[in-house]
Structure 1
Amino acid sequence: MKNRFSTFDLICSVTELQKLVGMRLNQVYDIDHKTYLLRFQRTEEKQVLLIESGNRIHTTAFEWPKNVAPSGFSMKMRKHLKNKRLESLKLLGLDRIIDLQFGTGEAEYHIIVELYDRGNIVLTDKDYIILNVLRPHSDGEEVRFYVREKYPVDLAKNRSGAPTEEMLREMLAKEKPGDQLKKIFVPKLDYGPAIIEHVLMSAGFPNTCKLGKDVNIDTDLPRLVEAFKMAEQILDQALTVPSKGYLMQKKEKRPNSEEFVIANMEFHPMIQQTPDSETRVMTQHSSSTYQGFQIEEFESFAAAVDEFFSTAESNKIDLKAVQQERDALKKLENVKRDHVSRLNALEETQLQDKEKAELIIHNQEAVDAAILAIRQEIANQLSWEDIEARVKQAQRHNDPVASIIKQLKLNINHITLLLSDPFADSADNKKPSLVDVDLDLSAYANAKRYFDQKRSAAKKQQKTIQSTEKALKSAEKKTKQTLKDVQTMTNINKARKVYWFEKFYWFISSENYLVIGGRDMQQNELIVKRYLRANDVYVHADITGASSVVVKNPGTDPIPPKTLTEAGIMAVCYSVAWDAKVVTNAWWVRADQVSKTAPTGEFLTTGSFMIRGKKNFFPPCQLAMGISFLFKLEESSVVRHKDERRVRSLEEEAEETFKLLTRSGVGESHEGEGEVEVSLSGDEEEDEEEDKMKPIPEEREEEEEEDKEEEEEEKGEEEEEEGDALPPNIPRLPRCPPHTSRSLALSSEEETPH
């Protein structure tokens, strides 16, 4: 399987990478010790360049797993190259070396990528003095790749052009007859094995062609000269025109299954000439058979290489993930096995203690006699050796008491007795057991001690069972989390385009307006300074520390009230009012009313602005938020969803609401005498009848009269302010009920910081 760039691959890649020239380096990441990601940006255009030392360099559209902590080499590149423009990207001769120049003048730096041998990545200054090197080493006595040494740019091998007939004659004359023609030219010419094989086949020299047998130096030299002229043309085209990409795939059938496994075997920037001189032409992502391979074509060489290596990397990560899954499951199994063994040991201890206690009770007289005999010997102040000798002497004389004593443990004041159950059946074949007894206790007390140990072991077993359940739950939880993390790690997905507004709080309103809000005071500052335009509206909650919300207006038409209300709800929800569960107001102003200029003697902190003029207040906003799923539509489905998020009139909204109520069964439509009424169903109808029968209390009548008076007064005030309550380019918001109404405008002369 091909896993690194050839010379021709690198030439094609460099030609395609010229699109990065002029872009700024935004950030540097490392995947492992030899693979790095360079993220470039130019306005809204973003590109990610992947460099693997010794193997490849290409742009990638996939999300690669990055190291949590950047390496020292990454930090060094960030320090010198971050936010610098890529001025040039070129090959140094034909040695598979790329020179990336960042910045100009005194701020000029170079990244030199070597894709031959073991590879290397070198960071240098404008004079090619090495600042950092990925793989320090020496190439002979004169060439040293170390910090503060000069990179040997002048040693790069330059392109020599097509060989002449004399050069080819001299080259072939030094070789032995029978050598393959391809193997002769590959180390001597700079074209690489792929191009040499291609042009030789095109000139009629197959792979098995041998010198002296299939090639005549005198007659075949002109054909060879033409073949290498073709190689020069291929290189010239690759240096100027971006190439397409091709993947050679092997299709294998699974055993005992109809499924096929397709494995990427090689990547190429061109389709090589086949032995039968047949060239296959394909459209994008079409497939064809090529020397036993299936071919997939891509629009660019970088896309083909990216697909090839992302699949190969996925296979590596899958193997690593499988091993991690096995380790996690094995660890869980070990925990279970350990707890089972502990429970079995406790249960076995209980059985042994019970059996020993019963044996002591069944042999109570003999046990007491043995304890008494040893006590007497100790009382006679005999040494332990003398006591043991007297016991053995008594055993030789078949003393019944001495015969059950098997071991003296006088250092712990114990003796070991061999006891058997006198009530056991001969068919049980139950053998005598060894029982330790304490010399300070009687036979009954020793039996009680064993029963106490059994009860203690039983309690310990119960506690172990309870702790086992908790431990197993914890271990299973950790294992599931590990498996989840492993599954997340194995996914190398194509990176979705991230829109500029996704770094903020954002949503699309019901009328298809983009609404954005700051996550912190720095983003509040950024939203107003960079993204607030003349036709936009600024929304803020009437509480300190709330998010600055901007409603983006792509046209000149006024923003509808429904969108403004939704933006106000967003401003309130992304404030301390959400945590405090306190309903507060929000307001909106035009973009030209927002200023960063503070009055004399005052100072505006980051994220704070001065509002000059009227603040248009919303009714009290609900603390309600939702979650939505966005689905990407196919092109054929876009037409069916056209105008779903458009500005609707009040009549259209009322009609749609009525349809929804009717469809959900809340009400039924009845036609008669040109009127439409909505009849309540179920409990609501009964509640209405009960309300009709209830008398209205006097206090309620008085309250209604007061409300009517207040409403008439407020109507009069609104009629006086009707001419200047709202600016002409913004439609009036629906009026609030009398008991919740707020002033929609402050004095135009008022200046309010927030």
Structure 2
Amino acid sequence: MDQKRELSSIDLGALVTELNRYAGAKVDKAYLYDDDLLRLKLRDFDRGRVELMIEVGDVKRAHVADPEHVADAPGRPPNFAKMLRNRLSGADFAGVEQYEFDRILTFEFEREDENTTLVAELFGQGNVAALDETGEVVGSLSTVRLKSRTVAPGAQYEYPASRLNPLDVSLGGFKRHMRESDSDVVRTLATQLNLGGLYAEEVCTRAGVEKTLPVDEATDDQLRALHEALSRIGERLRSGDIDPRVYEEALDGDGEEDGNGDAGSDTDRDPRVVDVTPFPLSEHEGLPSVGFDSFNAAVDEYFYRLEHEDTDAGEAPADASASRPDFEEEIAKQERIIEQQRGAIEGFDEQAAQERERAELLYAEYDLVDEVLSTVRDARANDVPWDEIADTLAAGAERGIPAAEAVVDVDGSDGTVTVELGDDGTRVEIDTGAGVEVNADRLYQEAKRIEDKKAGAEQAIESTRAELEAVKERKAEWAAQQAAADDDQSDSEEDDDEEEHEIDWLSRSSIPIRRPEDWYERFRWFHTASGYLVIGGRNADQNEELVKKYMGKHDRFFHTQAHGGPVTLLKAAGPSESADPVDFSEQTLREAAQFAVSYSSDWKDGRGAGDAYMVEPDQVSKTPESGEYIEKGSFVIRGDRTYFEDVPCRVAVGVQCEPVTRAIGGPPSAIVDRAAASVTLEPGMYAQNDAAMMVYRELKSRFADQSFVRKVASADQLQEFLPPGGSDIVD
């Protein structure tokens, strides 16, 4: 049987309750894979790392994933991901709802400065739209412009037309919808009652009604049985009475379905997944299944296995051309988006012109319009019903009264009338509760609002052009990387000895960019020569955050004897990772101490060396002695300390080329061997920005590919690794 690739409305209904259990988790970062898979990395106080996955391509899903199932972060984030990072970083996940019975999930995120709504459309072509607090689209993966709805930056988000919810419909309503069909029972349930094929068949099976029975031959008792089966499914979802299952299907040795369902043969391959459901289905009674504690866990496991089964089935040799990213398709896609955006801008121009024309027609036909408004206002003042007003105007039109002839519609619910003005009969809707001037001004304001939307669309087209250039740049980088790989392969084949070939990065004409995105990069940081992470605060707020949020029980806390040093943590493990006690080497400890000293006031004051101390995490407290006060970013240290005296104030700043490409900085013993090129500094006379420019020029001069240094280690990026105060380059 075909493998499930999209979650159904019933599946989403079961997922929403479980996803809301993560309310309160805080967003760290957003990632976008292949233009259709959105990953939001969150942190939950109780659960630690939370990975929310939303995919809207050929596979359509939304669930929290096991971190082990999450792929490494992609390279340079596209504009949509950048926009989400700006709006969602630090925001709290407030909850999620399913829109009616549609395959649409609405995620709410709250932040002090602005709230954001993410709408995931898990149907059709699929889409994700970010909305501001007014419901206006800030950005979307795809631009949609249909007669029925628009999803585009600057426009109010419009949901699709409402769909009948078959799980809530009354018996009378159910019978009426069924009786209106000229098809059979299962097709009517699947399409007109929006159940989809599988659950339509399931309802028929549970009700004991033949699937192919024509609706016009179904008895009232049979329709009642179908409605009761539907109601039981709805009640089960609402009560949370679920028993999630991942269904499997055995394959024979040739990869074909085993018609006997025998998974025990030695020649059989591992079974493949075919479906995931919130409760067991009678339609899958003959299939083996695996139970799960939560439907979210079942969905995660199902799509993880589905992805790997697809990968295994379509695996190509390492040198196959199929492994090449389809840059041409991505370029064509961005060009199509630009063309759509140009069309939208032209549409905004036309709409704004039409609104202004309507406003000018009101003034051009001022007396006539004023007569219409006065007639309606006088009638309403005498409590004349809207229907009678419409009849009176119609009678006046028959008698040839110009003001009455101009009226083509009366809408009492909105208190408006529509008039035809000008030689071409342009229709203008006017508010009968306002004068001609106010109605004209409203139209002018609408024209201005449309022009503002045009400005937003022009910004969007510039962003898309930037993304197009980024794709072209990635294509060039990929080609350079492949050429470099081919060169390396040729060198390897010609190299008769078995020693590992060391790449000469400095002489390479082109170096591929492989940017990391690590959680600690907003702090001061480096990796020791033995590989342990050391992080330090840049200010009092970060000092507080490091101790309260990131200090583990097996870490080490470092600080300088001099006032004004950063909190420095030697990490035994990353956040949310289990850690065992670590016996750090003396070199590792001294590197952490040198880091603490070099980024303290010792450097700023021009000292060549300073003292630091180390304590265990449980010796660090925010509770002062009675009568004392502790400044923000400061802490009380109790108990014995381990001292490191006369630690040199020195840092090395360089460029790392493998396994990732980025600027790095820290104690020279930890940096020099890790960097392809580096510069060592000590306290001196050059201001921080001047020293950063000197280092940048020196590093740039060492690489044949000077554009590489500009991309990964600009002067601004290098300055992040320089201590505050003056510096000199050490010869």
TM range (shorter): 0.3 to 0.5
What is the TM-score with the length of structure 2 in the denominator? 0.47
Greater C-alpha radius of gyration: 1
